[in-house]
Amino acid sequence: MASPSFGLMLFLVVYTLCVVTVAAGAVSSVLHKTLHSIPSERIYQRTFLAFGVLMSYDLVIAQLGLLNEFDHVPIPIAKFILAPMLALTVYVACCTQIGHALATRLSARELIGFQIFRLGPEVFLHAGYLEGALPAQMTFPPHGRNVDLFIALTALALVLAWPHLASCGLRPIAVAWAFGIVGVGALINILVTAMISLTHPLRDRFMPHFEPGLEYIVQVPFVLLPGVLFPLAFFTHLLLFRQLLTSPSSAAADGDAPSMW
């Protein structure tokens, strides 16, 4: 496999910062409506700082070389990056007042619309495949197994069509459930594909035809993909499920222009 180009690295860093900035703005906007006594600027600064701490953790762990072992299971990236990030994601989305505020004050249309950001990682992965820096199975069909491109395009279509779903005979809540379930399935698919694509016994045993070369994912700055963007997509799905279970009236609303954008 060729080394990833500087342009590919720069794209991932800039894109991750843009997504984090938008996410921090959405969180601070919602929390300001809940915590009226705290200025929105201060909430935004604290939210962005929290994202910065998580990103710094990922980058420091990768820079220290703690993720470079692939000859045993579980591999270090699962222990040091995926497990803690996903545990934190589940806790904040499902067990905190922040998760409750986001799930009740954002509409389903907004939560679904945020998943459009998954277009960026697809561009990154496909460009890496075309450069010969990333294995074919990480891009979208017909060359690969990654279907996140279709999730992002579906999210875009739903955002545009949301006000007209009822007139087409579709129930917004049912559409939101279907999107959420399929979207999580796509995330699980690419996570399993990525883990088996690393050079360790699982690939040799279960998918020996997979191309090698995903080892770059544990290096700086590529660790931002599993360490930040993947948990953020999962987090938004959890918020959508929490909303559908606890506040279906919010899910059915058209909502204004999505505040995340």
Most confidently modeled range among 169-183, 194-208, 239-253: 169-183
Element (H, E) at 11: helix 6-34
Q: In whole numbers, what is the pLDDT of the chain averaged over residues?
A: 89
pLDDT of amino acid 214: 87
What would the pLDDT profile of 51-106 be if each residue is shown by its tens digit?
A: 999 999 999 999 999 998 887 778 899 999 999 999 999 999 999 999 999 999 99
What would the pLDDT profile of 216-232 be if each residue is shown by its tens digit?
A: 899 999 999 999 999 99
The residue among 178 and 198 whose pLDDT is bigger is: 178
Are 253 and 105 in contact, with CB atoms under 8 Å apart?
no
What would the pLDDT profile of 154-168 be if each residue is shown by its tens digit?
A: 999 999 999 999 888
Handedness of CA 201, 203, 207, 212 (dihedral sign): negative
Domain coordinates in residue numbering, the chain: 6-252
pLDDT of amino acid 257: 39
- 193: tokens are 């594909």
Query: What are the Cα distances from residue 30, in Å, to 21, 106, 132, 190, 231?
Result: 14, 8, 42, 30, 20
pLDDT of amino acid 152: 97
What would the pLDDT profile of 248-260 be if each residue is shown by its tens digit?
A: 766 666 544 344 4
pLDDT of amino acid 202: 63
The residue among 41 and 177 whose pLDDT is bigger is: 177
Is 0.85 surpassed by the pTM of this model? Answer: yes
Place of tokens 């040091």: 80
DSSP state for residue 210 in the 8-state scheme: S
pLDDT of amino acid 219: 93
What would the pLDDT profile of 3-53 be if each residue is shown by its tens digit?
A: 889 999 999 999 999 999 999 999 998 988 887 767 878 889 999 999 999
What would the pLDDT profile of 103-144 be if each residue is shown by its tens digit?
A: 999 999 999 999 999 999 999 999 999 999 999 999 999 889
In angstroms, the CA 227 to CA 222 distance is 9
DSSP state for residue 116 in the 8-state scheme: G
> Across residues 202-213, what is the average pLDDT?
70
pLDDT of amino acid 259: 46
pLDDT of amino acid 258: 42
